Structure 1
Amino acid sequence: MPKPVPDRLEELPYADLLRPHTGPLRSDARYDTVHFDGGEYTDLSAAGATFLECAFTGVALSGVKLRQARFNEAWVQAGRWVACDLADSEWQDALFAGGVLAGVTAHGSALRRVVFRGCKLEAVNLRAAVLRDVVFEDCLLRDVDFGDARLTDVAFPGSTLEEVRLRGATLSKVDLRGAAALGLPDGHQGLRGALISSTQLLELAPQFAQALGITVKDG
């Protein structure tokens, strides 16, 4: 699973190296140990940009294109990213905490050793994405699409899943036992390879029965 990530900016191993960002975001730019603090970026392109050991605090992105961007050891706190294009982006050893991802397109993206903590993900497209060693901790996932994605060593402790789609996904060691709620409109589709509790199995039983053509009737 992902290595522990500090909750406070000053605890980051590269905190003393961070320098404030000024100016717009640019496509194909390289940002190394940069602190993006409280800025608002709207309808611009930073496609192909690289963010290495960067911190984002209270940053709002709206309609920003970050297709094929790379985030390595990025730390995002209280961000609000709306209608952004993160398709084919790469995330490694990153934290996204206490923020919102809404209407985000991230299909084909690759996430490795990433933690989402206390976040709200709504209408997020992660189709055909690859997730390895990813944790969604105390998050709300609403209308999130993992269709045709590959999930390995992914966990959802304390998270609420509403309208989360897994149809066509490939799961390996995906732990759903700690989830507060499982709202899976596709039912059993895509659950092969997942670990669930006996209580969750009972909750999903009507969907399994329907898929198998079983009628359950008492009396």
Structure 2
Amino acid sequence: MPLADQPYAHLLRPHPGPLRRDERYDTAHFERLDLEQVQAGGALFLECAFTDVTFSEAKLRQARFNETWWERCRLVASELVESEWQDTTVQGGLFAGVSAYGAQLRRMTVRQCKLESVNLRGAVLRDVVFEDCQLRDVDFGGAKLTGVSFPGSSLDEVRFGGATLARTDLRGASRLGLPDGHEGLRGAVISATQLIELAPQFAQALGVQVRD
């Protein structure tokens, strides 16, 4: 669904100004902005859109994003610790070197994005879809994933150690590169082909020797 089809699209107004800590932003459209070292922790974004926006070394701790739309945005070396995301779509974006441990993601779609070196330890994800994404060095350690899926996504160096999974579907992933933490996959659904590919790693995690 494009931005124009969002129920709040006709209400959006351009917002070129700086972002501030603990501020509330309603129906604001942030477009073609380069926001470096912005301090907006605790801010609330309600029915807002972000288009071609770059956040570099941004501080967005405990920021809340409710019914927001993100397209072709970049978040680099930024802090999203304990942030909250609900009813949000992110597409065609980049998250690199992002700290988002303890974040809460609910009813969220992440589409055609690249996530590299993203810390989601202890996060809560419910009804989240990573569609056609590249996840590299993403840490879900100790996180709680419920109703999460990865259709068409490539997972490389992704960790689930200590995670709690329920209704988490990995069958659609194009690649499952999991270096460790395989016990954290308890509760996930994988395909028979994926099981065969992961069998040596499962055996190693269980201390089982496989010999012919």
TM surpasses 0.5: yes
Q: Are residues 1:64 and 2:58 paired?
A: yes
Q: 2:177 aligns with which of 169, 183, 193?
A: 183
**Paired amino acid for 1:71:** F
**Aligned-partner SS, 1:58:** strand
Matching of residues 201-216 of structure 1 within 5 Å: 201-216=195-210
**Other-structure match for 1:15:** 9
**Cα distance in structure 2, aligned partners of 1:158 and 1:22:** 35
Q: Could you tell me how far 1:88 is from its partner in structure 2?
A: 0.5
1:18-70 C-alpha deviation (Å, 9 max, x unpaired): 00002111111100000000101001200000000000000000001000000
Instruction: Say whether residues 1:25 and 2:22 are aligned partners.
Output: no
Preserved contact between residue 16 and residue 33 of structure 2 (Cα < 8 Å):
no
- Structure 1 residue 11: deviation in Å? 1.3
1:156 and 1:129 mapped to 2: Cα distance? 17
AA aligned opposite 1:56: F
Q: CA deviation at 1:187?
A: 5.1
Partner in structure 1 of residue 42 of structure 2: 48
Note if contact 2:36-2:55 (Cα within 8 Å) is conserved in structure 1: yes
Q: Which runs of 4+ in 1 moved over 6 A?
A: none
Q: 2:102 maps to which residue?
A: 108
CA shift at 1:208, angstroms? 1.3
Q: How far, CA to CA, are the matches of 1:140 and 1:200 in structure 2? A: 18
1:215 Cα offset (Å): 2.0
Q: Given the alignment of the two structures, is residue 75 of structure 1 paired with residue 69 of structure 2, yes or no?
A: yes
Confirm or deny: 8 A CA contact 1:129 1:149 kept in the other structure. Answer: yes
For residues 207 and 133 of structure 2, the distance between their equivalents in structure 1, rounded to whole angstroms, comes to 34
Q: How far is 1:209 from its partner? A: 1.4
- 1:131 and 2:129 correspond: no
What amino acid maps onto 1:189 in structure 2?
Answer: E
Give deviations 1:199-218, integer Å, cap 9, x for gaps.
Answer: 00000000111122222222
Q: Does 1:198 align with 2:169?
A: no
Change (3 A) 1:187 1:22: closer
Structure 1, gaps ≥5 residues long = 1-5
Paired position in structure 1 for 2:150: 156
Work out the percentage of aligned pairs sharing the same amino acid.
Answer: 66
Q: What do you get for the CA RMSD once the two structures are aligned?
A: 0.8
Which residue of the partner structure matches residue 173 of structure 1?
A: 167
Cα deviations by residue, 1:121-161 (Å, 9 ceiling, x for unpaired):
00000000000000000000000000000000000000000
